[in-house]
Amino acid sequence: MAELQKRVVCIEDEPEMIDLVKLILSRKGFLVTGANGGREGLDAIERDKPDLVLLDLMMPDMDGWEVYQQMKANEMMKTIPVIVVTAKAQSIDKVLGLHIAKVDDYITKPFGPQELLDSVEKVLERQGEKGAA
């Protein structure tokens, strides 16, 4: 495959979860940058200009929705697709996330490696179709 590696920024406050995401995605050729918390995550997005962001909602310094709103308000970041990764399994959160905030997908912890890969590949494929249209 001659295509460029896709860059993913994983914004998460649990280092073990960042390590797990890196392990799963790097095996499939993704370049994954981990960011510990929202502020570090926004810096990483600005620096790395990723193809996709994996965003935890429950973080101590700045919650995921705040990060998401700042991304969407930023000209350089607003077109980057976002997959929300959270332990909040309530259906109302999923409805809010997908329909009101318009995130690209939603994964609930704990998730399996294949579930993560399927979501990432599906969202990046949709993004590629948008870019080609």
3-state secondary structure of 131: helix
- Does residue 2 lie within any of the structural domains? no
Specify if 13 maps to a domain.
yes
What is the rounded average pLDDT of the residues 52-80? 92
Confidence category of residue 109, pLDDT binned at 50, 70, 90: confident
Domain contains 29? yes
Tell me the H-state helices in the chain.
Answer: 15-26, 38-48, 64-73, 91-95, 113-132
pLDDT at 114 over 90: yes
9: its two tokens = 């920024």
Q: Which domain holds residue 45?
A: 7-132
User: Is residue 1 situated within a structural domain?
Assistant: no
Domain count, the chain: 1
Higher pLDDT, 95 or 49: 49
